[in-house]
Amino acid sequence: MRIGLVCPYTWDVPGGVQQHVGDLAEALMDLGHEVSVLTPCDSETELPAHIVPAGRAIPVPYNGSVARLAFGFRAAARVRRWIHEGGFDVLHVHEPAAPSLSLLACWVADGPIVATFHTSNPRSRAMAVSAAALRTALEKINGRIAVSEAARKTLVEHLGGDAVLIPNGVAVRRYENARPLEGWPGDGGAIGFLGRMDEPRKGLPVLLEAFETLGRRRPGLRLLVAGPGDAAEVRERVSAELRDRVVLLGRVDEADKIRAYHSVDVFCAPNLGGESFGIVLTEAMSAGAPIVASDIPAFRSVLREGAAGELFAVGDPMDLVRAVESLLDDPERRVALSGAARAAVRAYDWASVAGDVVGVYETVLAGVAATGAVPAAHGEGE
């Protein structure tokens, strides 16, 4: 299948949508499809062959902040030319409600169009305000995908209609192998945590309380915490005698984050609830870290009812102590859990997510095949 992907945001700035489009493109190519990605791109950066730059994105006020977007008739002409030359079987636009390339693609193209909606901001009034301007262009979309339940709700509220839910994939390959951080995990054992330190729902206080017991029972045990937040305030909550065994990395970059997953004997996800999917958990699973996680429905399901990671009672530090100790004392069980986690996370890998997306393409194509429509840019090809 020849697939044309359109990304509305500039490629040289990292962001969730860009990452999604890049990962999806690679996964689709791995499945044997031909893929071309059209995206705004500022600099003359070296791009892989399948990424087609559509010119500079212009900073412009939008929805209460300044966004870098590609708009205007010239951008529309570039989209038209790309569709004309691409000869795609299906056009897949991302975030078509944003005033950028994706919306322009819907405007200039005729034929099978699939759209993925990423935004999940119920307070955003931008979509509501411009709904009328959007409606005509968005009417041409044959199949709509939402990446989360929240994104689906936002879409339904502002534009009506419905969408199928296909979550973000995990780039398992990116997490599989990494060198542990210098000096980790160490002989005494190490526990890891990743997430905002100052957000109680992420459950760091539960883990810190458990460490008061764990740290005293096990003299060499250390705790590695990565994520943004007030480090001094966290350190304050740890007893003085244990303080030098709690290492706070603060905000880390992508590479160090991956290394952090590989630096611990047990990875802990003590969330108190609210996680719809648990991206941190799936990343840790991809890295093959033995996992101890709260028994919340989302985690229970990702961890295959406890087969791919040890579950403990939500918000219960003593049960967390039990779970961590059972793993620290049993290296064989850690190896078994690591393997089970790596196997279980395959279901969330981009390869399988891309398979679901292809399923959407095929459904849409089956419909248009009956009517004989082919994707084409209307107007002259320039």
Partner 1 sequence: MIPGVLSDWLTPLIALFALVVLFSFYISWRATRLDRLHTRVETAHAALDAALLRRSAVVLELASASELEPASSVLLADAAGQARRAEEQGRRELAESNLSRALRAVVEEPGFAGGMSDAAAQGGGGVTAGPIVPAGTSGEAPPAELLAEVESAAKRVHIARRFYNDAVAATREARSSRLVRVLRLAGRAPMPDFFEMDDEPPVFPPWG
Between CA 343 and CA 362 the distance in angstroms is: 28
Q: How far is the CB of 377 from partner 1 (least distance, A)?
A: 10
From 356, 353, 271, select the one nearest 309 (Cα to Cα): 271
From 167, 140, 144, select the one nearest 155 (Cα to Cα): 144
Q: How far is the CB of 56 from partner 1 (least distance, A)?
A: 11
Q: Which is nearer to partner 1, 66 or 255 (CB)?
A: 66
**For binding to partner 1 (CB under 8 A), which residues are involved?**
58, 60-64, 69-77, 97-101, 103-104, 106-108, 110, 125-126, 129-130, 132-134, 136-137, 139-140, 378-379
Q: How far is the CB of 34 from partner 1 (least distance, A)?
A: 25
Q: Which is nearer to partner 1, 79 or 284 (CB)?
A: 79
Q: How far is the CB of 151 from partner 1 (least distance, A)?
A: 18
Residues 6+ apart with CB under 8 A from 68: 9, 10, 13, 40, 42, 57, 58, 59, 60
Q: Could you tell me which residues are beta bridge partners of residue 114?
A: 92, 143
CB 115 within 8 A of CB 94: yes
Between CA 306 and CA 327 the distance in angstroms is: 13
Q: Which is nearer to partner 1, 182 or 371 (CB)?
A: 371
From the number of C-beta atoms within 10 Å of its C-beta (0-12, 13-18, 19+), residue 180 rates as middle
From 256, 284, 286, 260, select the one nearest 271 (Cα to Cα): 284
Q: Which is nearer to partner 1, 7 or 285 (CB)?
A: 7
Structure tokens at 168: 């973000």
Q: Which is nearer to partner 1, 228 or 379 (CB)?
A: 379
CB atoms within 10 A of CB 172: 20
Q: Which is nearer to partner 1, 75 or 114 (CB)?
A: 75
Whole-number Cα distances in Å, 244 to 46, 222, 248, 253, 266: 44, 9, 10, 23, 19
Q: How far is the CB of 364 from partner 1 (least distance, A)?
A: 15
Q: Which is nearer to partner 1, 92 or 257 (CB)?
A: 92
Q: Which is nearer to partner 1, 100 or 294 (CB)?
A: 100
Question: Residue 365, SS3?
Answer: helix
Q: How far is the CB of 91 from partner 1 (least distance, A)?
A: 13
Residues 6+ apart with CB under 8 A from 212: 238, 239, 242, 317
Q: How far is the CB of 297 from partner 1 (least distance, A)?
A: 37
Between CA 217 and CA 103 the distance in angstroms is: 59
Q: How far is the CB of 54 from partner 1 (least distance, A)?
A: 12
